[in-house]
Structure 1
């Protein structure tokens, strides 16, 4: 179905820079006009003067205008389509946005790939555009499959299963795997691949919510259900209606609540705490655990009937030690992630550092690796992470600490510190001079790395050997290189 050229997208935000960035991304996705207006715009102007087909509203805790825009838009316009822009991590505001009618939300600060994914998921639901008319977001290899990184056989098989299971959209799924393997990422991918992708994905960590509160969190409660319940509140099942509810650490749920969950899965309805009237639940449940549920069943800690009801489609997520070949891809993803907003290049890992990382058993799995990379990106100042820079528990082979490769990396790093630094951009600087200095730096790094072998240096720089020789002669870099060599000797 073709989109009419008269389609109008309206962005309501007080953040001009963010509005402009969002407009540029949407131009690549949607035809027609795109307008930006402030939050102070009167509600009647949005419909009478703009009458948008798609509304994107930036929400703020301190300013209720955005929520009012959403509510009025959905109250007065039939088949309205809107997306809320919510500060990252503000779950309360996200829930309020959904109550006000938003079909989806985007986290602020904006990430172009997230905008593309959300818009491409939401638009088909209103029949404004077909999938073929929205370009698929461009992902680097390190971005992986819906954010899950891996290129080993076991991971490619997992991605294929997620695709096939996700398309079905109804069956209950049980994710099993050690702590830190990325069960929530898999659950999000299953949701994104399903017909429910345009509705909410609602995660609940059953171990993080006290037993006394978990029932009301899941099913909501009626006014007067208990002391302090001054008004009714919807639970996570209702927020996930039409979408996916992810129950993490399901093995920690108390037996009484397991019985109520079993009824929801069987009857597709539940009663809020203190309520008598059943509420329909069109929700796909994805449960996850890092414990052996069969053993828990045998020990009487988990209901047998609930276990078999959850275990309709079991999915085992491999630990990191079973796919160590994926570690270079994960390092690339995490170093890029923690380098955002910095002028320097993402950190690199020496060959021996990578070998040590691949030999480590990773009891904390991908989460442990991510935490270590973040620590190195924050505390380690050099561009190259050597095996000596890794936490002591990572290095199982002491010989890796004293190899020619590590000594070469150390010498290169020391030599590079003597080269000119990048300029302070707060001060005036001559562009051509700085470009020339940067070129000198690259050439000297290549010469140091190859121990003065100009042919190999040219290959590293992807230059013709004759071109490199001309530059070295013109800039008299031979003298600088010899001086650096003497300093190291």
Structure 2
């Protein structure tokens, strides 16, 4: 069901529009001020906003500009309304991103036509964004290791089915990407993929996030959104991805279990149940069988979710995939930051393959982005460009011992200084004078520092 936010300081207009749109089957929330409307938009997702230009607390066009700064997936289509419309204000509204402009007194027929068209435009934009995410997901199930080949084969076999999936793996291994890939290759690929991180939602709010609420019955209370579609309803016909499902409370687990069994649920404050057709893909970094033994997870819910189990191995167990992942991320961030041909040396790759990657693929991706950003002139990423953390788990060629733990604060500081000086020398093409100036040091002082840290100009 599509959700509309009406923002107008005239109570009669709000009430009239609300009544008409409810009869047309829309979920409706109303607000009298721009400030309240922006709070509502930050707390919930709306498809279309009917926004008056003249509001008591601020100009509606300024509010429109703030709406356009929201997270991309939360930006609604905005239809401006005004009783004092001019060509100039209509043009300005369009330039700021408004979908259309309606003059008061509102024509019912025209309002409904523009609203329906705005809904279609919102859906098209959402579909395009979803396509881009799915493309990224397909590209990111990368690797030629035995584990990744088996995982891709499993996705190919299971994606076209409606079987529920439970994905196991450490944080950062790409469980969400596996879920998106499953959706992209399923029969539901033309419908929504909706995700919810169960660990990120407070217990008091997760029920409304999952099942929604009607007529102000939600946890926001007075002044909050009057109605909200939950993730189950928004995923109707598509896929719902429940991330970190092991962090869900037992109370919420019971309601999810019932919804999975009946494919229907009752939003908070509603009198009639909502029927849905949703494929659920869940993911966890916990051992759910151990959680069941501790009484933290329902055994019956585990068996409902674990129809098709997937296991995503940590990056340290498939180090042979690191060069392929690095190549993919370098291409991605090189294009993003205007350096499409950036490469990585074999020496640098060898260092990355020796690192233990506690943050898995996510950590590798973030590291590559950081290296590309911090070395804007380098078309070839060398070992010296890599951050110090890569060397902590490797043996120092001078001492032969592990740098996993520094023996003192002084040793840690010296390791950082050496890394930083090497980076600055590289930026200045080995010119010690320019490097000293950039570091705010005398040239002789930098030479002494380099000698103490074992850094040579040639290096």
Q: Does the CA contact (< 8 Å) of 1:339 and 1:345 recur in 2?
A: yes
**Residue 187 in 1 paired to residue 179 in 2?**
yes
Q: Does the CA contact (< 8 Å) of 1:171 and 1:313 recur in 2?
A: yes
Partner in structure 1 of residue 98 of structure 2? 63
Q: Does the CA contact (< 8 Å) of 1:331 and 1:373 recur in 2?
A: yes
- Deviation of the 1:328 alpha carbon: 1.1
Partner in structure 2 of residue 33 of structure 1? none
Partner in structure 2 of residue 314 of structure 1? 309
Partner in structure 2 of residue 336 of structure 1? 331
Partner in structure 2 of residue 289 of structure 1? 284
Partner in structure 2 of residue 221 of structure 1? 213
Secondary structure at the counterpart of residue 260 of structure 1: helix
Residues 45-84 of structure 1 show CA distances to partners (whole Å, capped at 9, x for unaligned) of xxxxxxxxxxxxxx998513399999748959xxxxx974
- Deviation of the 1:394 alpha carbon: 1.5
Segments ≥4 residues shifted beyond 4 Å: 59-62, 66-71, 73-76, 413-418
Which of residues 193, 198, 207 in structure 1 aligns to 2:199? 207
- Deviation of the 1:175 alpha carbon: 0.5
- Deviation of the 1:146 alpha carbon: 4.3
Which of residues 221, 241, 252 in structure 1 aligns to 2:247? 252
1:294-373 paired onto structure 2 within 5 Å: 294-373=289-368
What count of residue pairs does the alignment treat as equivalent? 308
- Deviation of the 1:348 alpha carbon: 2.2
Partner in structure 1 of residue 387 of structure 2? 391
Partner in structure 1 of residue 151 of structure 2? 158
**Residue 105 in 1 paired to residue 106 in 2?**
no
1:409-488 paired onto structure 2 within 5 Å: none
CA-atom RMSD in angstroms: 3.8
CA distance in 1, matches of 2:148, 2:302: 26
Residues 187-241 of structure 1 show CA distances to partners (whole Å, capped at 9, x for unaligned) of 0000011111110000101111111111101101011425326622211111100
Q: Does the CA contact (< 8 Å) of 2:330 and 2:368 recur in 1?
A: yes
Q: Does the CA contact (< 8 Å) of 1:352 and 1:400 recur in 2?
A: no
- Deviation of the 1:399 alpha carbon: 2.7
**Unmatched segments (≥5 aa) in structure 2:** 1-77, 80-93, 103-108, 401-421, 431-456
CA distance in 2, matches of 1:310, 1:341: 38
CA distance in 1, matches of 2:241, 2:278: 10
Secondary structure at the counterpart of residue 202 of structure 1: strand
CA distance in 2, matches of 1:239, 1:198: 14
Secondary structure at the counterpart of residue 266 of structure 1: helix
**Residue 376 in 1 paired to residue 371 in 2?**
yes
Residues 235-285 of structure 1 show CA distances to partners (whole Å, capped at 9, x for unaligned) of 111110000000001111111110000001111110001223211010000
| C-alpha spacing 1:155/1:321, structure 2 compared with 1 (3 Å) | same
CA distance in 2, matches of 1:287, 1:362: 24
| C-alpha spacing 1:328/1:73, structure 2 compared with 1 (3 Å) | farther
Secondary structure at the counterpart of residue 140 of structure 2: coil
| C-alpha spacing 1:74/1:187, structure 2 compared with 1 (3 Å) | farther
Secondary structure at the counterpart of residue 339 of structure 1: helix
**Residue 277 in 1 paired to residue 272 in 2?**
yes
CA distance in 2, matches of 1:207, 1:415: 42
Secondary structure at the counterpart of residue 272 of structure 2: coil
Partner in structure 2 of residue 238 of structure 1? 233
Secondary structure at the counterpart of residue 195 of structure 2: strand
- Deviation of the 1:153 alpha carbon: 2.1
| C-alpha spacing 1:335/1:201, structure 2 compared with 1 (3 Å) | same
